[in-house]
Homo-oligomer: A and B are copies of this chain.
């Protein structure tokens, strides 16, 4: 079956919201998609008719197995295009989301197959998020944020939680990207700020909010 751009955007947003809370609410989805709750209710009835979501009125909703499979296909296309935009076209990683938001809806399976091969089968996108394979299988990467790791440890940035342009702009300002190696000097109890030392840069302090959104693995 083939889905409209609008349906695909809803499906993908439900998928992302489910990562945080198992069942999704009408308001949160409306907020995510910058639309109105009434529109969400309308679309959910349609997605239910197409057997992609479990939904009972007033009870919230979630993707079923079929819906999740569709969602992972869209996520796969989105992340492959993001990789292409950064690693082939030379975009900065904070400029690619909106373009990938359009490209992900181009519906040729052959295109994605050949793109994947052209890109040499990348495992993660420019934000460190894993790329699902053709069958919708995706590596689950254990995520530890800078806020949770003990002082004095040296770690490597593997992904970022908040991917708003504002956050990505800030990371760029600090010269922090995926693969950046840094040492945690200390945590401040007052507001959760963290002092870090990036290799070949002087130590600096990032806010608790930033620390919670920078995920790392041991380097």
- Interface: A1 (CB within 8 A): no
Stretch from A86-94, A159-167, A178-186, A207-215 forming part of the interface with B: A86-94
Copies in the complex: 2
| B103-A89 in contact (CB<8A) | no
User: Which residues on the B side are within 8 Å of A114 (C-beta)?
Assistant: 89-91
Closest chain B residue, CB of each to CB of A95:
B110
- Interface: A35 (CB within 8 A): no
A131 → chain B closest CB, angstroms: 17
Q: Known contacts A118-B88, A118-B89: does B102 contact A107 (CB below 8 Å)?
A: yes
Bound Cα distance A90, B114 (Å): 8
A106's partner among B89, B91, B99 (CB-CB below 8 A) is: B99
- Interface: A19 (CB within 8 A): no
User: Which residues on the B side are within 8 Å of A103 (C-beta)?
Assistant: 103, 106
In the complex, 11 of the A-B residue pairs with CB atoms within 8 angstroms, ordered by the A residue number, are A85-B111, A88-B118, A89-B111, A89-B115, A90-B114, A91-B114, A95-B110, A99-B106, A99-B111, A102-B108, A103-B106
Bound Cα distance A200, B111 (Å): 33
| A99-B89 in contact (CB<8A) | no
User: Which residues on the B side are within 8 Å of A98 (C-beta)?
Assistant: 108
User: Which residues on the B side are within 8 Å of A95 (C-beta)?
Assistant: 110
| B108-A99 in contact (CB<8A) | yes
The B-contacting residues of A in range 108-157, CB under 8 angstroms, are 108, 110-111, 114-115, 118
